[in-house]
Amino acid sequence: MVVPTDTSTANDSGLLWQPSADRLAQSRIYDFMGFLETRGLGDFDDYRSLHQFSVTQRESFWSAFWDYANIIAAHKGTVVVENPDTFPCQSVPGVRWFPEARMNFAENLLRYRDDRPALISRLENGQRRVVTFKQLYNNVAALAASLRSQGVGPGDRVAGFMPNIIETVEAMLATTSLGAIWSSCSPDFGINGVLDRFGQIQPKVLVGADGYFYNGKVCDSLERLAAISGAIDSLVRVVVVPVISEQPDCSGISNAVQWQDFLDTSATEVQFAQLPFDHPLFIMYSSGTTGMPKCIVHGAGGTLIQHLKEHQLHVDLSRDDVLFYFTTCGWMMWNWLVSGLASGSPLVLYDGSPFAEEGLSLLKAIEAERISIFGVGAKYLAALEKAGIVPNDEVDLASLKTILSTGSPLSHESFRYVYKGFKADICLSSISGGTDILSCFVGGSPILPVHVGEIQAPGLGMAVEIWGDAGEALLEEKGELVCTQPFPSMPIGFWNDTDGDQYRQAYFGSWPNIWAHGDYGELTSAGGYIIHGRSDAVLNPGGVRIGTAEIYRQVERLEEVQESIVVGQEWANDVRVILFVVLTPGVTLNEDLRSRISKAIRENTTPRHVPAKILEVSDIPRTLSGKIVELAVRNAIHDRPVKNTDALANPEALDAFRDREELLT
């Protein structure tokens, strides 16, 4: 085996970064290639050959990675996969991974029990706490014993109405150690939004915080916690975690007990339930902006092995790293983040506004905690650039080796900004996947170059393609992102979807036995991917499909525009493009600015991309995880009902899109 080398040429204008020979040789993915070769499974000299092996020799790949990652299990079994070519919910029995295995998810995350930091909690108000791996194990033992005393066991649900703090991780680990199912919402959800989720799954125990800090405010959650718990008749216990006060008043909450009083501190060992690979682990939720949220059930083994693969091979995570992702407990990236414990990495948990301390709160955490892998949403990076913040001028970034970005497509400008504003020697990995798979279809690789605007590669073990309407694979053309082969982290089902019909319609409605993810993307000649937006938000003027991200990139380059949202309006038996913009304070949307916006779009895309109308709004509606909601805006401008506005962080923003006289002509 030779050290993988980059094939980019020096005159490649889109090349932003390529790994040094030392970084290549020291990467975990390179080490894994050597591991495969010692087993006689092939000779690998680059990422592409490894990826080809991972999708053509799936049994060998996943079995070898299980061993490489040293997954802890009572029994692995000899069978890697049954029905390997059949997705779930088809007309014949679907795929099953490691059907003989018996294991426990929490046991793998609690494998380290030393005195090194495991969780570092930072709140917006400046509070900082640390627990070691040893303390984490002991705390989980105490909590698991208490949950068991309440009758919690395999298959029961425990729900968290929690900020991103240490107790949330401990509650998840205690729950899953028993074989129970964990599900969480962040405490900024409204009452109906929580009940739309937890009301469907009927948890036995609810863990809730008394409040949280955000944007300089102290937010009390006790009133909502009381209303939520009072509406869920399956609850036997409500455990209240103090965040904003030392002794929360729980008198208004039935069956409530304070966190510290609930713990069984006499318990010193965790009794890990050994369960099947596909035993339910997490219940996640679709956004709920187009109807009742779907309850997506993920299995323990598939989640674990996929996260280990992404952490160790795609992110290059080890015990020497410190991992951070800015997320709430209502977004899948929280689940992804906490799995980093299985690789022995300390995790930095932050709760609060990412723009606290004059926009520097997260950047200061890099320096203070020596974060090496820094994960944020694409909008955060764009906002930093808009604010004129140069991170390398503000904090010491010596520890930083990787930046991860997701949540929406990362613009070309943001790619360049990272290398100018952060540091030149960094692996910028834009990633794309979703709640549906609790992981990524396409993402980063520490042994591949970074090209402007491109996600580096398909995930290992993920048979990703871009398809046209006829089901043909496309290269350098836009189409639907699909996965043609089953993979371990697919949902094991939807809650209360007994016949699998919801599951089938969600992913296999376009092509039978082909996972269509709902992303509109493109495979580049360099082997990277570009995501142009959600398929259901694609614009279609004159029958030409346009990804919304193509327009956002051009509009948000202008200093006068803070943010934008673009939708299609039904008009004259066709669709016309409507652009709404949030402007920088003091800027007026006059004809000159409209003209410059249109010119930027026309010159850098096509005339069909140019909006028919450009209108101003003061705010853009978004989900509680920060994603803009194009479908909700599209419904609003057509005077259609927007369902479940409790799923939105700022539902009042929709009012500015309704009854606009400008849209009548």
Buried-state track 473-485, b at ≥16 Cβ within 10 A, e below 16: eeeeebbbbbbbb
Does residue 395 lie in a domain region? Answer: no
Residues 457-486 have a mean pLDDT of 96
Distances (CA, A) of 168 to 118, 214, 551, 559: 14, 17, 39, 39
Question: Does residue 17 form part of some domain?
Answer: no
CATH of the domain at 630: 3.30.300.30
Confidence tier at 6 by pLDDT (50, 70, 90):
very low
Residue 657: strand, helix, or coil: helix
Instruction: Write down the pLDDT at residue 10.
Output: 41
Of the residues 276, 305, 321, which one is the last residue of a structural domain? 276
The per-residue pLDDT for 541 is: 86
- The least confident of 284-298, 339-353, 486-500 is 284-298
Last residue of a domain, one of 258, 276, 294: 276
Q: Is the pLDDT of residue 530 over 60?
A: yes
Point out the least confidently predicted range of 50-54, 320-324, 655-659: 655-659
pTM: 0.90
Q: Is 464 exposed, middle or buried (0-12, 13-18, 19+ CB in 10 A)?
A: buried
Q: How far is CA 636 from CA 190, 196, 292, 535, 567, in A?
A: 21, 22, 18, 19, 11
pLDDT at 8: 42
617 lies in some domain:
yes
C-alpha dihedral (79, 174, 328, 528), degrees to nearest 10: -20
Mean pLDDT of 155-172: 98
Among candidate residues 403, 439, 405, the one with its CA nearest the CA of residue 310 = 439
Q: Name the pLDDT band for 90 (thresholds 50, 70, 90).
A: low
Q: Is residue 171 part of a domain?
A: yes
pLDDT at 3 over 70: no
Please state, in angstroms and rounded to a whole number, the distance separating the CA atoms of residues 336 and 349: 12
Asked whether residue 322 is domain-assigned, the answer is no
> Taking a C-beta distance cutoff of 8 angstroms, is the pair 440, 429 a contact?
no
Residue at 176 is within a domain: yes
Instruction: Give residue 11's pLDDT.
Output: 47
Indicate the pLDDT class of residue 7, thresholds 50, 70 and 90. Answer: very low
Q: pLDDT by residue (tens digit) across 629-655?
A: 998 999 999 998 887 787 788 999 999
Q: In what order do the strands lie in the sheet with 574-583?
A: 561-571, 574-583, 613-616
pLDDT of residue 534 exceeding 90, the answer is no
Domain count, the chain: 2
Structure tokens at 365: 């955490």
Q: Quick one: average pLDDT of 71-82? A: 97
User: What gap in Å lies between CA 334 and CA 336, rounded to an integer?
Assistant: 5
Of 223, 243, 276, the last residue of a domain is: 276
Radius of gyration of the chain (CA): 24
212-251: per-residue pLDDT in tens?
Answer: 999 999 999 999 999 999 999 999 999 999 999 999 999 9
Token pair, residue 160, equals 């968290």
* Residues 6+ away with beta carbon under 8 Å from 660: 615, 637
| Structure confidence by residue, pLDDT tens digits, 8-26 | 444 466 999 999 999 999 9
Cα–Cα distances (Å) from 623 to 69, 183, 244, 287, 463, in that order, read: 35, 18, 25, 7, 30
Quote the pLDDT of residue 624.
76
Q: Which residue has the tokens 């729980």?
A: 250
Burial of 305 (0-12, 13-18, 19+ CB in 10 A): buried
Judge whether residue 293 has pLDDT over 90. no
Please give the pLDDT value at position 641. Answer: 87
Q: Look up the CATH number of the domain holding residue 161.
A: 3.40.50.980
The mean pLDDT of the chain is 93
Mean pLDDT calculated for residue range 458-474: 96
| Nearest-angstrom CA–CA distance, 223 and 252 | 8
413 in a structural domain = no
In the predicted model, what is the mean pLDDT of residues 408-431?
94
Range of the domain at 549: 538-664
**What integer pLDDT is reported at residue 626 of this predicted model?**
81
Residue 11 is assigned to a structural domain of this protein: no
- Stretch 183-202: mean pLDDT: 92
% of the chain at pLDDT higher than 70: 97
